[in-house]
Amino acid sequence: MRAERANLFHLIEPLLPLVEHPARYLDHEWGACEEQDGPFHLCMVYADVYEVGQPNLGVAILYNQVNAQEGMSCERCYLPWKDLSELMRERGVPLLSLEGSAPLASFDAIGFTLAHELIATNVLETLDLAGIALTSSARDEDDPIILAGGPSAWNCEPLAEVFDAVLLGDGEESIVEVCACIRDARAEGVSREELLRRLALVPGTYVPSLYDLCIDETSTRWGYAVPREGVGAPAVVCKRCVQDFAATPAVAQRIVPYTGIVQDRLSLEVLRGCARGCRFCQAGMTYRPVRERPVDQVVECGVRGLLESGHNEISLSSLSTTDHSQCEQILNGFNHALAGNGVRVSIPSQRLDSFGVDMAAAVAGGRRGGLTFAPEAGSQRLRDVINKNVTEDDLESAARNAFEAGWRRMKLYFMMGLPTETDEDIVGIARMAERVLEIGREVVGRGPKSGVSVSISVAVLVPKAFTPFQWCGQLDPDEVRRRQQLLLHEVRDRAIRVSYHDADVSLVEGALSKMGRAGFPLVRRAWELGCRFDAWTSEFRFDLWEEAARDCGFDLVDLACEEFPLSARLPWEHTSPGVDKGFLQREWLRATRGVTTSDCTRSSCVGCGVCPTLGVSNVIQGVRA
């Protein structure tokens, strides 16, 4: 039976003096929704600590959408840090929601945001702390319906046994429809099995338990999912897509935290989707089409959001903010409206080919921090392979514009382990960083007090579902470490700082990205051995992941580095972001030849299939020169 709904904060309160950062667990922040009476209660979970999960834009959007509905309420929950989790287990205290301190097991539904693959063990930890069975098949009739969505839902197969339903694509509309379906089914008293069948009829909703696994000569070793006969589930679940983006709230974050958080600023989504077509980028494929928010709405809502929240920084978030056709007008609008207020307007990462003199002047209107650009590869040949569509001239021009506009610090993002990569490409990263540093010194001066510095951050390519590189194997971790050392050896100027991703962390991420449904025992065993907070450098335990793999008969290098045949049915093909498999295959073949593909918002249609499949199209507010 479902747990009784009650405020149990009195069970947590005595534990707070015994743990680090007790402010993580305090409710009633400014702007939080009050608990509502009503027939339906949802709890949105970000399975990491409060400081990491609180600023998540996806959680904020869905939280507001559900609470705006009559008779529905949504609360939040974040995973306690290990010190509090241990005390809760010792004293028999269940995991509670933040707003109402109600047991998670008392909610009608629980929604997890899958922000990245390494959150998998935290999902299991959350359910266990809540006293909820880890797998859908083990839950009782009255247990909460366990939902999931988010960026890493595109290969949720390693966790398919955990979730009752997975929401694909934009969630603003589907979360309300799914909640209404659960509410109505509960009111009718139908069985849990019938409830799940009804959820499968809600567009964009994947119900894993209604699909069987098929392994044959057309599949990889992981097989593929097919709907069971007679259950009514679609053969392919297509994502939901909000066409009228401007009709959605521009500012979703309304809650002011009691404690410092990782992104302590107002976030405003100015643009959704990207058509640049970088071949490594999952978000660039799965968030299509491009939908821009109007300038007036952005500026008006941003200024109001700053007044309501007290933040002194606003972040214009999207996959590629400077691709907004009216980005300069947005920045100039904020500069005018916020002049003299000490408010900084930041853009997470700038496109090299968009950062001209006018853009530099517009971005420079606020307080200057560092600037971030993403060349991604150290040679033009390799940038063509990944379809980055920027040149060294673009980088040099953007760097010069930035330094002349007053910036002194620049960060460059690169990737390692890209298809066809050679040592020359690695050396090219060092040479590019040196050239940017030299431009800064030419503009600012060479003295020790000039403050000019360049930092480079190098990630390891993890091939992801629904990208042209989904058939690739990941680079062997020993080779990753060799190339990292080569890069360090080639960077000779102390004004250039180098950081890179841990090869073992990337290996586990790659394994989770590649596996099918039969990979769940690995995740479960890793959690049983004590893996928690795997995305935290201080907490990641590669030795435990290796032990879990051995116990399950897997080898992590074999899992992550496996190549899939181009013709194979992949483990995630029963879901779809609308991008045609044929388009992805063509893009992979073009990558092997170093042939680029244009951005359809700047040229003609490239045939990715999203617009006709989903019945949507790109929405561009302005006219580019």
Q: Are residues 354 and 228 in the same domain?
A: no
Same domain, 190 and 287: no
Residues 412 and 429 in one domain: yes
In which residue are the tokens 């947005």 written? 330
Q: Give yes or no: residues 483 and 361 share one domain.
A: yes
2 is a domain residue? no
- Containing 110, the helix (H) or strand (E) segment is strand 109-113
Residue 164 sits in the same domain as residue 277: no
CATH of the domain at 614: 3.30.750.210
Low pLDDT (below 50) residues in the chain: 1, 624-625
CB 320 within 8 A of CB 271: yes
Residue 551 within a domain: no
568 inside domain? no
Of 202, 223, 238, the last residue of a domain is 238
Last residue of a domain, one of 501, 532, 548: 501
The Cα 238–Cα 183 span in angstroms is 24
CATH number, domain of 179, equals: 3.40.50.280
Strand order in the sheet with 72-78: 72-78, 40-46, 109-113, 145-149, 165-167, 205-206
Q: What is the model's pLDDT at position 368? A: 67
* Residue 493 structural domain: 349-501
User: Is the bond into 289 cis (omega within 30 degrees of 0)?
Assistant: yes
Q: What is the dihedral of CA 11, 14, 15, 19, to 10 degrees?
A: 150
- Of the candidates 131, 122, 104, which has an alpha carbon nearest to the alpha carbon of residue 52? 122
Residues 493 and 607 in one domain: no
| pLDDT score for 36 | 65
Are 330 and 355 in a shared domain? no
Is residue 464 a part of any domain in this protein?
yes
Answer for the pair 166, 148: CB distance below 8 angstroms, yes or no: yes
**Count of domains for the chain:** 3
Point out the domain boundary residue: 221, 238, 255: 238
